[in-house]
Structure 1
Amino acid sequence: MKNTYNLKSMLSAILIIMCCNLFSQTDSTDLTDMSLEDLLDVRVTTASKISQEAKKAPAQIIVITEEQIRVRGYRSLLDVLTDLPDIKVDNKAYGMNYNTFTVRGMQGQEKFIIMLDGMRISGPANETMPIIENYPVNLAKQIEVVYGPASALYGADAVSGVINIITKKTELKTLKAEASAQAGDNGLYNGTLFASSKLSEETILTLSGQYFFDQGVNLPKIFGKEDTLWNMDSHKTGTFNTAYGPMTPSKKVNSKYEAPLMAYNIYAGLITGDFKFTVFRNYSKNSSALENNPNNAVHNKDVFYGRSINAVEAQYSKTSDKITSISSITASDYRTDPLTNYRNVYNNLEGGYKYSYSTKVKIEQQIEWRVNSKLNLVSGALFENFFVMPEGTDLQDPVRDNKVLTGTMAGSASYYRPNGIEATFFSVHYNNSGVYSQLQYTPNKKLAFTLGGRYDYNTRYGSTLNPRVGMVASLSKSTTFKFLSGTSYLAPTPGTAYSYYGSFSTSDSGKTYQSYFMHLPNPNLEPMHVYNAEFSLQQRFLKRFQVQLTGYTTLYTNIIELASDAETTKLYNGKFMGYDVDYIEVYVNVNKQQNTGGSLRMEYSQPLKKGRLDVYGTVSYVDGKVQVTDLDDGGDNREVSEIDFISPFMFKGGTDLILDKFSFSARCIVSGKQRIYTDDEATQKRQTIDGYTVVNASIGYKIGKVSLFVNVSNLLNSHYKNVSYSMNLSDPNTPLFRGNWQDPLRINGGIKITL
């Protein structure tokens, strides 16, 4: 296994180097004027909420351009983040959100914000969303990825970073339109449509849409011989040999393995004079049995988790000589598909439906004051109103979400109680008010200072103050040093604080009920606090080659962890809804974590006679410690463990070639040992699964207004796993997988028409 791993790493590096050497010999006597500085110093808005060159932004920021999206064959935001440094992506990890993202050693996509032209399109109440084709890139002019805490400007949840998709728009009176159709093996289909038209001198209308469906690879067929947990006999016989004994569900089970993935997104934007209107909707659906092996869950296409987001924004902006005013109102909602359901060992494989819902309305006023050529001030105030109905226990039937919500707890119907136990639906209504200000002072061309902060008051958990200070120093024409330090916070989501699950059973035909386990709400959760310091040193050579060294250290406190209610909060005293519960689990604030890491990134750009060659690569490192307090022992037992969901060392790199009508891209990811959540109590070291090497490639050719393209994922056909939640490699009778197998080599191709 180790030799194969090393061989694939060597082959990947050789492949990329050969491509570089081959095409760098192309005649370049007619070089364009494009330098690496021109390519990298694009203007960005996300880092400071104002337009500025990327090199002058105080935070570490990476910009993915429209051309890179095309050449690399990116289909969604998932593809973009997979190739970015300091980000580990684990797909097929969890039924509730499909994948998970670990940024600088902190796991969870609820810890960064996704925006579209500055409008938030991640969960309104910070629900954890999968990132697949529900987040588009076909409409992007560029994608700005800001690393590190950003609560000083963006408030709660901007802990690991901020991602802003900047849409492209036509500046011509003629229609700009693009349409693409894509198909691949194992039933993969993807279609996009983009259109932008300048209706008048002051009015631009932009529309975009995408639909994606993937029937998926037959994982049991491919990996069944390597992994006995992929045994599908239970689906054929109807009897499941679960971790808790044989179970034969009464509901029908299809013998065929099915785990399709589906997503779509719709966007409309209208700019007319000083007004801008934006509408966005997305939906995604995936198997809800991803983490459970086939003996402990039903892997059929009707067992899925679906969710959607709708967002609308109206904005008015006015610019004078020194002042720009931006007024906006935004409304968004999140909704779990009422047909969302689980069929696993925890509900006797009979199934249980889920539902949750949230809305948010935000009013914001921002003022940018350009005092003079050296001084710039951005200030703003906002008010947010939230209504959230978090996910509750398994329901016997789907809710009718256009009616007053009612439901029965799954499996609770009995002889004396034929209608079962009525489910409880918790709801939370709260407000958040905030003010922020940031001053940027540039005393000369070589120095720039940033000082800012934000104060928020939330009716759920009180007030927070998050300052930040930064400096950008141009040590020479080719050398730039950045430093940024600040704090951030992660609000306890209503889903974390108020969701509940578990079930009741009866031994006397419904006269009495009891439960052996319930996870119940803790409304007293407090925010997680983050303290961060980072630097970067960027050095350019001969306008073609750049090296950037980045380092950071981050302290997280008040991390939320599971604990016994009886030993900690004592909110329930062993009862829920009047029934006895043997063990009640709640979330509490207890742990703290220290992460330290950095990356070394190298980029080379060579203009060619009719194109350009770009080569890039990043080696990243992260590690740290978690102080775990065992509250079940009265809080006296404090242990120090390794951080999880990371590969301490990772390499990501590739090469992009544009040569007249032809384009080619090859990208490589090399991951070391992957740490999982479970640790060894004796050594305090996390269990690990093997690392991997993956190469992805894209080829394109333009014929007039028509482009043909082919994308190959996992070119080396590596058989590898990603990390999932709650895995325990030492459990011989686990209901989960010991690592989630990823897709083997896959090929897709398509056509794109541009008008």
Structure 2
Amino acid sequence: MRKWIVTFFLLAASMAWAQDDSELRQIYMQAEEEYTIGHFDASIRLLNENIAGFDGALKTSAYRLLSLCYLGKDHVQDAEKYASLLLKEDPYYSTSIHDPLRFADMIERLKRGEEATITTASQQAESIEEAPVPVTLITEEMIKASGARNLKEALLAFVPGMTDIESNEEMNIAMRGIYSSGQEKILIMLNGHRLNSYSTNTSRPDFSISLDKVKQIEVLRGPASSLYGGVALTAVVNIITHTGYEINGAEVKIGVGNYGQVKSSFLFGKQYLDWNIMGWASVYNSSGEKVNVPVEEQMGVLPVPGDIIIGGFNKKPSFDVGLNLGWKDFSLLYNTNFSKTVAPYSMSYFFAPYSYDRYRTFQGNAPGFAKLSHHLNASIEKQWERFQMNAGFILDMENQSRYQIAGDTVPDVGYNMFFPVGTNDTIISTKGAFQYHNWQETTWGGFLKGNYQYNLSENHKGTISAGLQFDRFHLSDSYYVEGDNFDRVLVTYDDKKNLYVGSEISVSAYAQVKHQWKDFLILNAGLRYDYKKRRNNQVIQEYSPRLALILIQPKWNLKFSYAKSFVDAPYFYRNNTLDTTTGGENLLSEYLHSYQLTFVANDWFKDLNFDINCFYNKATDFIVPDGLVYTNAGRLENIGCELSSSYSFRRFKGWFNLTWQYVLSSDKYNVKGHDVYNVPTISSNLILMYEIFRNFNVHTHLNVLSDQTSLYEIPDEQGNMFSEELGIPARAVWDVGIDYKFNRFNVEFNINNLLNKTYEQGGSSIAPIRQRGLWYMLTLSYKFNN
């Protein structure tokens, strides 16, 4: 009997809720009809009387309709008020072809000005001017104007302070002179979900992250551990995807280019009532550019004749597949992606060309660093009058493998000894020697965060934010293989030369207050506490504070901020018996203290926006190699200034950025004088776009870098390290492109390195590596509208 009573009440409650929802939807449709026939006041009355009951997509639509009604009455100030509320509700709202041009222009103007455009800086919707740290916002239009093919190219084009770094096995970036062997200092997120590996802290900005799905990219320049914990050491990159409403149909894209480039993508989106669905799929394959490197020009210990492959992504192509699903207050994100870069040279100090196609595959992977990732984020968000709460569950699974080549022909120099049976059965490999390491990891967890808006008086208002997060990381499997003759496995290790299997638990909590005095001064202060229990039961505790003061004026603002960030030593470094990456459990966190002073101007001069940021960084306890052992011994103290600007006039748009960096002091960090090795003192980018006639654009990107110094470092015949400095000349690389839209078709043609400039770039490899020459791609897309 009790069961039937409970069932009855649940059924009655659901029917009542459905009825209320249906009635509210009917009221909105009635208001829309009144607007259509020009009864603006009647529509406004219906919406205002019921606005408190609207929720989710219905509330966004109500704000839009109110703004349209006031535009119809020519009450621009009221129209902007409701357009601002719309942007607060949905910071990534985009207009459609059905919106009046006046409304669309107003939305775009508000976005460019002082209304809500980002959520990454403070975990709440706010304008760029209100953000407590310098922010770079990269829009879909900017990506197209730069001709960027992947995330790395987009970031290097628009984010001051970011410069190219070569690591032989994967794409890498330095931020203000700070980098590691892989990209493990910058947090990369997809709609707020972490993409960095939990075992290595790395996330590669390559073709595993498709740009076709991107609406905008929000980049926080500087430490952000106060909100995001570890990995957010030098910057945060948050990739925001389109919504189903914005796409409203499907798009198919196919591209071909030189050096075996083939690209295809599919984008789908639709909103129906309270459902919003968006999906994407992208595949990229490249044979790569083959370049002959004469023996006398090679830097490794064993020079051999042959070709290197530049920009190769093949055997198993890179792909990015995902789904965004929204229903009322519930949202679901799923993403799976894969990439494997072809390493131009063989491993470590061998550093020579090798026959990539002759070596066997493991799990379908040819030589290179491969990473297959799965990401799931399910959350529910509730909004009350002043309180907003978000709770969710995350799941990340990764399969990584590092497949390295010693060389096609390897003389007996003691580097290539294998022990198939034991130490008394030594084989000296002299042909097709390789090693393959594979590991698998799983991380699951949950989060709870919320924002409370308070209004103490007319002159004092703000937001209090807080959050909790729990993560459990588990490395479930790892094995290591050595072999020769291109395909013969000599020995498989399950314990020695391997990663330890184990689990780690992380718990964190943060709190932040954003207080505004009148309309001219904002205080943004936050603190995060991170607790980690390592595999060996060692406990790590970190505190990450942030403080910012922002002075806001009608056409400019000034902000000063201090922040401390950290990144814990990667699990990969702390829990392995690999000869080249020992360091053990004694490795601790790395730290960065940063002070920044930023001046931002909007329309100070007509149609010109710019910001100037000066920073002081003090990085300590960097993990650096001391022979074959890693220690927390590195230190870097540097300053710099960054300028970024944008200009728009009729059919012309342009973006420019310039960065200057200067090292004050360092210890056990790759520095020569006042410069970091492989990082230019001055770097700049100029991107221009001009609409020749309707829907036909030409664009160009010029990247100019000052000269660099690279360090060439290998062991001599006695095994001692031998170092030599190599100068890399200043360079200018020029990209051009066109795009033309005709009805539902769109054609793009991009040429990278138009002048076929020959240059090299250094980084974590033992010597600089030749970069790609002239590459081009022709892309055709077709849009299916509903």
Q: TM-score, normalised on structure 2?
A: 0.74
AA aligned to 2:312 is: P
Greater alpha carbon shift after TM alignment, 342-351 vs 60-69? 342-351
2:346–2:352: 8 Å Cα contact kept in structure 1? no
Contact 2:498/2:576 (<8 A) preserved: no
Q: 1:44 aligns with which of 118, 121, 137?
A: 118
Structure 2 partner of 1:577: none
Contact 2:564–2:591 (CA under 8 A) maintained in structure 1? yes
- 5+ residue gaps, structure 1, are 1-30, 232-241, 247-252, 398-408, 414-418, 503-517, 565-584, 631-637, 728-737
Q: Deviations over 1:47-102 (max 9, x none)?
A: 0110111111111111111222334333321221120233444365322xx22200
Question: For residues 390-405 of structure 1, what are the structure 2 equivalents within 5 Å?
Answer: 394-396=481-483
On the 8 A contact 1:391/1:495 being kept in 2, the answer is no
State the partner residue of 1:329.
393
Report the equivalent of 2:758: 719
Residue matched to 2:265: 192
- Matching of residue 670 in structure 1 with residue 726 in structure 2: no
Q: Which residue of 1 aligns with 2:312?
A: 260
Equivalent position of 1:375 in the other structure: 462
Alignment partner of 1:652 out of 656, 680, 685 = 685
Determine if the alignment matches structure 1 residue 286 to structure 2 residue 341.
yes
Q: Per-residue deviation at 1:421? A: 9.3
**Counterparts in 2 of 1:73-472, with a 5 A limit?**
73-90=147-164, 93-95=167-169, 98-108=170-180, 109-171=183-245, 175-198=248-271, 200-220=272-292, 224=293, 228-229=296-297, 243=301, 260-261=312-313, 262-290=317-345, 296-301=352-357, 302-337=366-401, 340-344=403-407, 346-347=415-416, 348=429, 349-372=432-455, 374-388=461-475, 394-396=481-483, 424-460=498-534, 461-472=539-550
Whole-angstrom distance in 2 between the partners of 1:295 and 1:381: 46
Post-superposition Cα deviations, 1:82-128, rounded to whole Å, max 9, x if no partner, equal: 20233444365322xx2220011111421111111111122133442
Equivalent of 1:596, from 639, 642, 650? 639
SS of corresponding position for 1:74: coil
By how many angstroms is 1:602 displaced? 3.0
The 3-state SS of whatever aligns with 2:524 is strand
Shift of 1:230: 6.4
CA distance in 1, matches of 2:166, 2:675: 23
- Between the aligned partners of 1:295 and 1:473, the Cα distance in structure 2 is 53
* Shift in alpha-carbon separation, 1:424–1:618, aligned structure 2, 3 A: closer
Q: In the alignment, is residue 492 of structure 1 matched against residue 569 of structure 2?
A: yes
Q: How does 1:480-519 map to 2 (within 5 A)?
A: 480-502=557-579, 519=581
Contact 1:159 1:488 in 2 (8 A): yes
Q: What letter is aligned with 1:465?
A: Y
Q: Tell me whether 1:740 sits opposite 2:773 in the alignment.
A: no
Summarize the Cα distance change of 1:743–1:245 in structure 2 as closer, same or farther, 3 Å threshold.
Answer: closer
In the alignment of these two chains, the number of paired residues is 626
Cα displacement string for residues 719-753 of structure 1 (whole angstroms, at most 9, x for unaligned residues): 111113253xxxxxxxxxx4211111122111111
For 2:514 and 2:704, locate their aligned partners in 1 and report how far apart those are by CA, in whole Å. 39
CA deviation string 1:496-533 (max 9, x = no partner) = 2223434xxxxxxxxxxxxxxx6534112110111111
Shift of 1:669: 0.6
Higher-Rg structure is 2
Question: How many Å apart are 1:170 and its aligned residue?
Answer: 3.0
Check 1:183–1:563 CA distance in 2 against 1; reply closer, same or farther (3 A cut): same
Matched, 1:689 2:728: yes
Instruction: Tell me by how many angstroms 1:664 deviates.
Output: 1.7
| Residues 1:520 and 1:484: Cα distance change in structure 2 (over 3 Å) | same
Q: Tell whether the 8 Å contact from 1:190 to 1:212 is kept in structure 2 after alignment.
A: yes
Deviation at 1:541, TM superposition (A): 2.3
Shift in Å at residue 603 of structure 1?
Answer: 2.3
Shift of residue 563, structure 1, vs aligned partner: 2.5
Aligned runs of 1:18-57 on 2, under 5 Å?
Answer: 38-39=111-112, 41=114, 43-57=117-131
- Paired residues of 1:81 and 1:87 also in contact (CA < 8 A): no
Amino acid at match of 2:634: N
Contact 1:378 1:439 in 2 (8 A): yes
Q: Is residue 525 of structure 1 aligned with residue 587 of structure 2?
A: yes
- How many Å separate the matches in 1 of 2:307 and 2:513? 63
Match of 1:706 in 2: 745
In 2, distance between residues paired with 1:443 and 1:420? 61
Can you give the 5+ residue segments of structure 2 that lack an aligned partner in the other structure?
1-103, 358-365, 417-428, 715-719
SS of aligned partner of 1:68: helix
Instruction: Quickly say closer, same or farther: Cα 1:255–1:669, change in 2 above 3 A.
Output: closer
> Structure 2: how far apart are the matches of 1:561 and 1:257?
29
Per-residue deviation at 1:312? 0.4
Q: CA RMSD of the aligned region, Å?
A: 3.3
| 1:641–1:685 Cα contact (<8 Å) kept | no
Tell whether the 8 Å contact from 1:289 to 1:303 is kept in structure 2 after alignment. Answer: no
Letter in 1 for 2:285: F
1:411 deviates by 5.3
Cα pair 1:203 1:272 within 8 Å, conserved: yes
Secondary structure in 1 matching 2:212: coil
**Equivalent position of 2:599 in the other structure:** 537
Identity %: 18
CA contact (8 A) 1:550 1:599 kept: yes
Residue pair 1:452, 1:468 contacting (<8 A) in 2 also: yes
| Structure 2 CA distance for partners of 1:591 and 1:106, relative to 1, 3 Å | same
Label 1:135 to 1:40 Cα distance change in 2 as closer, same or farther (>3 A): farther
Instruction: From the superposition, tell whether residues 99 and 674 of structure 1 become closer, same or farther in structure 2 (CA, over 3 Å).
Output: farther
* C-alpha distance 640-721 of structure 1, shift in aligned 2 (>3 A): closer
Secondary structure of the corresponding residue to residue 155 of structure 2: helix
Aligned mates of 1:256, 1:627 — CA distance in 2: 35
The letter for the 1-side match of 2:697 is S
User: Could you tell me which residue of structure 1 aligns to residue 617 of structure 2?
Assistant: 554
Partner of 2:146: 72
The secondary structure found in structure 1 opposite 2:297 is helix
Deviates more, 1:119-128 or 1:668-677: 119-128
TM-score scaled by structure 1?
0.77
SS of the residue 2:167 aligns to: strand
State yes or no: 1:623 paired with 2:662.
Answer: yes
- Mapped to 1, the partners of 2:478 and 2:706 lie a distance apart of 36
Change (3 A) 1:276 1:420: closer
Q: What is the rounded CA distance, in whole Å, between the counterparts of 1:368 and 1:440 in structure 2?
A: 10
Q: Residue 32 and residue 369 in structure 1: after superposition, are their counterparts in 2 closer, same or farther (change >3 A)?
A: closer
* AA partner of residue 279 (structure 2): L
Q: 1:313-349 CA distances to partner (integer Å, 9 max, x unpaired)? A: 11011000011110011010221148x3434365454
Inter-partner Cα distance in structure 2 for 1:706 and 1:556: 50
Alpha-carbon distance in 2 for matches of 1:159, 1:38: 28
